[in-house]
Amino acid sequence: MKTRIEKDSMGEIEVPADVYYGAQSARSLIHFDIGIEKMPREVIRAMGTLKKASALVNAELGVLAKDKAELIVKAADEVIAGKLDAHFPLSIWQTGSGTQSNMNSNEVISNRAIEIAGGEIGSKKPVHPNDDVNKSQSSNDTFPTAMHIAAAEEINLRLIPALTTLRDTLQKKSEEFNDIIKSGRTHLMDAVPITLGQEFSGYVQMLTMGIERLKLVLPGLYELALGGTAVGTGLNAHKDFAKKVAAKIAELTGLPFVSAPNKFEALGTHDALVFAHGAMKAIAASYFKIANDVRWLASGPRCGLGELNIPENEPGSSIMPGKVNPTQSEAMTMVAVQVFANDVAVNFGGASGNFELNVFKPVIIYNFLQSVRLLSDTARMFNEHCAVGIEANRDKLNYYMNNTLMLVTALNPHIGYDNAAKIAKHAHHNNTSLKDAAVTLGILTEAQFDEYVKPEEMLGPKLK
């Protein structure tokens, strides 16, 4: 393998000749050969965005030559577009400030800019990774800024649209099933009637509230640390840099980013990400409920509840011929478990700031973005391969509805709780219908029972 010699404050080091990263990235690869988890593409893209914005603002403020800024912008655009992804090989398990990944960005953009200018890669001329690409910045404010950009973009562009699509599909199912009366269930036991549409409306509202909670946490993610530099004071940055660079990032992304009002909070904590991940944890809890309900309602086909028919996507057993399983529900519940676990990591990482800096940044954003992707992809898969194909098994639903003992609840206002309980227990122990039990016990006539017990009139408040 051909190499070149690059230098940093620690001295010389060999770097592969065909890569744009430099000395500090090469040292990171040696010292942090840990695991297989790499810095997420979303963070790399965000780094490109903030480096571009910084160059433009520094040039505007007169602290960076315009020709250098133009070169940085061209190289940063390639980072944003994903053209240079192969040159970002660093592990998540590195310095907790993300310094090596910030320098990875500085080195790649510097060397690519040098190449565009016709210079020698590794020469640091005419674009220096620290003096030019990193001007007015520190790893301590760039990396948390990239974290917020990546988190906000992924929630807006990936998660909310996926949730909205699934929510809308379940809304259509709720409307489709609204005339189907079924037995409700509480404590896994028979309860009073509801419609299948009402049951699905609960799922719709869960996702609607999940979307609203995501929108609630976004303002915290729109606050950017950039301009705080090393400890939050803004040392070595122009006094107008923070506000202007946040506005430039907002312009580049189309999202309402602003400069964080207190840079000490922005560097020392990640409460906004902890809060935002809590909203995703709530969505995961909703997923768990929805997926479990769907697979249990579809259980069978001969020995389960069988109230729903779900799409048959793939064979379910290597030994039992013809078996088909509720695999989309199983995947969704596993994703929920992973998001719960990620929340623990984000919580511990977020709580672990010391003095002026939190040094758990890479593990926080890695788990955060994994949750976004898993929740988004699962919503998309569950929608395409399960929700759109859910059908009601009307025969089974009618059977359960006609045989549930909890229809007796409609008698409470007419004969009292105690007499209604006698009817239900008699019917259960003697395996008869509620009507037969009421007549046998001499509590009601058949006509009275038919007048009082009408499932279609038990679907909402009736008493005045």
Parse the chain into domains and list their residue ranges. 3-135, 144-395, 404-457
Spatial separation of the C-alpha atoms in residues 427 and 238, rounded to whole Å: 82
User: Largest Cα–Cα distance in the chain?
Assistant: 102
Per the prediction, the chain carries an average pLDDT of 97
Decide if pLDDT at 268 tops 80.
yes
Read off the pLDDT of each residue in 3-8 and give the average, rounded to a whole number.
94
Average the pLDDT over 23-39 and give the result.
98
* Digit-coded pLDDT (tens) for 155-165: 999 999 999 99
Is there a shared CATH topology between the 3-135 domain and the 404-457 domain? no
pLDDT reading at 324 higher than 90:
no
Torsion of CA 240, 243, 249, 251, to 10 degrees: -100
Look at residue 316 in the predicted model and tell me its pLDDT: 83
What does the pLDDT look like over 286-321, one tens digit per residue? 999 999 999 999 999 999 999 999 999 888 888 887
Does the domain formed by 3-135 have CATH 1.10.1060.10?
no
Question: Strand pairing of 181-186 and 11-16?
Answer: unpaired
Q: What is the pLDDT of residue 318?
A: 80
Q: Is the pLDDT of residue 384 over 90?
A: yes
| H/E stretch holding 224 | strand 223-224
- Which residues are annotated as catalytic? 187, 317
- pLDDT exceeds 70 at position 47: yes
pLDDT at 205: 99
Residue 357 has pLDDT above 80, yes or no: yes
Closest residue by Cα to residue 68 from 51, 46, 48, 88? 51
pLDDT band at 323 (very low <50, low <70, confident <90, very high): confident
CA atoms 307, 309, 315, 320: torsion sign: positive
Question: Angle at the Cα of 118 (from 112 to 123), degrees rounded to 5?
Answer: 65
* Token code pair at residue 43: 């963070």
What's residue 86's pLDDT?
Answer: 98
Cα angle 295, 301, 305; round to 5: 55
How does pLDDT run across 173-210, given as a tens digit for each residue?
999 999 999 999 999 999 999 999 999 999 999 999 99
> Is the per-residue pLDDT at 462 higher than 80?
no
Please compute the mean of the pLDDT values over residues 259-278 and round it to a whole number.
98
Contacts 24+ apart (CB under 8 A), 275-278: 275/217, 275/220, 276/151, 276/155, 276/214, 276/217, 276/218, 276/220, 276/221, 276/368, 277/342, 277/343, 277/346, 277/347, 277/367, 277/368, 277/371, 278/217, 278/343
User: In whole angstroms, what is the distance from residue 300 CA to residue 284 CA?
Assistant: 26
- Nearest-angstrom CA–CA distance, 108 and 95: 19
Residue 95 to residues 36, 100, 355, Cα–Cα distance (Å): 16, 7, 17
Q: What percent of the chain has pLDDT over 90?
A: 95
Q: What is the DSSP string of 121-151?
A: TTS--SS-IIIIITTT--HHHHHHHHHHHHH
Residue 4 CA to residue 22 CA, distance in Å, equals 10
pLDDT tens per residue, range 88-137 = 999 999 999 999 999 999 999 999 999 999 999 999 999 999 999 999 99
* Residue-level pLDDT at 464: 61
The CATH number for 144-395, chosen from 1.10.150.530, 1.10.760.10, 1.20.120.450, 1.20.200.10, is 1.20.200.10
* CATH match of 404-457 with 3.30.70.260: no
Residue 463 is predicted with a pLDDT of 63
Identity of residue 344: V
pLDDT for 321: 79
Could you tell me the CA-to-CA distances from 357 to 197, 266, 270, 350 in Å, in that order?
51, 9, 10, 11
Q: Which pLDDT score, from 0 to 100, does residue 320 have?
A: 83
Does 249 have pLDDT greater than 70?
A: yes
> 429-461 burial string, b = 16+ CB within 10 Å, else e?
eeeeebbbbbbeeebbeeebbeebbebeebbee
Structure tokens at 261: 């009002």
Please answer whether residues 204 and 210 qualify as being in contact, where contact means their C-beta atoms are separated by less than 8 angstroms: no
Mean pLDDT of 433-455: 96
What's the pLDDT at 313? 82
pLDDT above 90 (res 255): yes
Going by pLDDT thresholds of 50, 70 and 90, the confidence category of residue 7 is: very high
